[in-house]
Structure 1
Amino acid sequence: MPKSVGPALVGVWVQAVLNLAVGFLLLALVNDAADHGQEEGAGLLRFLAVLSLLMAGALLLCGVFAGKRSNGIRVTVVVIEALSLLSGVLGLLQGGGVPVLPGIAFALAVLRGFSSAEARNWFDR
């Protein structure tokens, strides 16, 4: 495994766990709001929760099967990280401030690791 892929793969695992936590937290918030009759905005939060859980599942699968060296795994991680980066930039533009910056930096680091020429060659076999 190339030197750039190892730390990026650790980043994939960390991001998967964080996405799971955020997804379940958002679902808990939506369910709590529904229990108290506050349904306004619950649809968007539910969508974001499900999206976070789906991304976590995809990242977990990519982490598990990274040793198989399939180019589809690399492409999946790159697409998810690009979406995460886009989300972070949009959050920053909407006034998210400093709390959004670590997510952007994290996505850039993983994206850089999986987009390197070494990574492309290694995943292509």
Structure 2
Amino acid sequence: MADQVLERMPGRVRFALAGVWGQAVVNFFAGGSLLSELDSRLAHGRHVAEPGLVRGLAYFSMAVAVLLAVVGVCARKRFGWVWTVIVLVEMVAVVSTMVGLYCVWMGLIAVSQSALLIGLALPLAIGGALITGRGQDWFSR
């Protein structure tokens, strides 16, 4: 019987998974906060322009949080689909942040540019850590 050698997870992959767990926590609480704020405004008779859209975005944020948590749990098993899901989620995060930056620069929304830049740096770092050879190799065995 062949001895199985347990490999240590590369540091870049550990960094990426820590970022994924961080994103999961932040997305879950952001979605919950958005729902709480929406319900509070509606309960007190305050006007909300698109409550359905806000509620949908909050539920989407919470669904992404659950997906990231599942991916974080399954990453130790080295499933190939985990790598794909993380890279796709990070690509969506980068694109949505770029749209947010464009909207800020055009004056359409009032959000801190520095917060958006931090929100852009994390997905780029996570994606960059996983796209490297070691990141792909970890999930391809």
For 1:119, the equivalent position in structure 2 comes to: 135
Q: 2-side partners of 1:32 and 1:42: how far apart?
A: 12
Q: 2-side partners of 1:101 and 1:20: how far apart?
A: 20
Q: Hey, which bits of structure 1, 4+ residues long, moved more than 2 A?
A: 36-40
For 1:80, the equivalent position in structure 2 comes to: 89
Shift of 1:40: 2.3
What is the aligned counterpart of 2:115 among 99, 102, 108?
99
8 Å Cα contact 1:23-1:49 kept in structure 2 = yes
Q: 2-side partners of 1:76 and 1:34: how far apart?
A: 35
What SS does the aligned partner of 1:4 have? Answer: helix
Q: Which amino acid aligns with 2:65?
A: A
Q: Supply the RMSD in Å over aligned alpha carbons.
A: 1.1
In the superposition, the TM-score normalised over structure 1's length comes to 0.94
Q: Which amino acid aligns with 2:52?
A: G
For 2:28, the equivalent position in structure 1 comes to: 20
For 2:4, the equivalent position in structure 1 comes to: none
Aligned length: 125
Q: 2-side partners of 1:39 and 1:108: how far apart?
A: 33
Rg: which structure is higher?
2
Q: 2-side partners of 1:8 and 1:124: how far apart?
A: 16
Shift of 1:98: 2.0
For 2:10, the equivalent position in structure 1 comes to: 2
Q: 2-side partners of 1:34 and 1:80: how far apart?
A: 31
In the superposition, the TM-score normalised over structure 2's length comes to 0.84
Structure 2 alignment gaps of length 5 or more? 1-8, 105-110
